[in-house]
A = this chain, B = another copy of it.
Amino acid sequence: MVPSAATDAVFNALSSPTRRKVLERLSVGPASASELAAPFDMQLPSFVQHLSILEESRLVKSKKRGRVRTYEIAPARLKIAEDWLTARRQVWEARLDRFDQYVKQLKQKESKP
């Protein structure tokens, strides 16, 4: 089972449109902090705060080489959120299937002479 602290951190990280845009960019390939910041009209300290939240959630990891810190996506954590959502949908769909079966049985009973 996934520890709920990990799930909390991941869904919290995903709740910001800025952080989701960063993840969209990083799914295409690694990028430096300044490359990631470029599309956003935001002060650098605020933007770095978003990167920290992403890194703490372990949705991304970073490496420093010389003066440049490069970020990349860490897909294992994305999968925590994806699996949580898929599980909800599957439970729901299984319930609908059982309900369909039940309605079918009722109809068969009614149609018997």
- Interface residues of chain A, those whose CB is within 8 Å of chain B, are 4, 7-8, 11-12, 14-15, 17, 20, 23-24, 27-29, 73, 75, 78-79, 81-82, 84-86, 88-89, 91-93, 95
Chain B's closest residue to A5 (CB) is B17
Contact A11 B14, CB 8 Å, known A85-B82, A86-B82: yes
B81:A85 contact, CB within 8 angstroms: yes
Q: Are A84 and B11 in contact (CB under 8 A)?
A: no
Q: List 14 A-B contacts (CB under 8 A).
A: A4-B17, A7-B17, A11-B14, A14-B15, A20-B84, A27-B89, A27-B95, A28-B91, A28-B95, A29-B95, A73-B92, A75-B92, A78-B85, A82-B89
Instruction: Give Cα A14 to B29, complex, Å.
Output: 26
B78 touches A89 (CB 8 A): yes
A34 to B99, CA, bound (A): 24
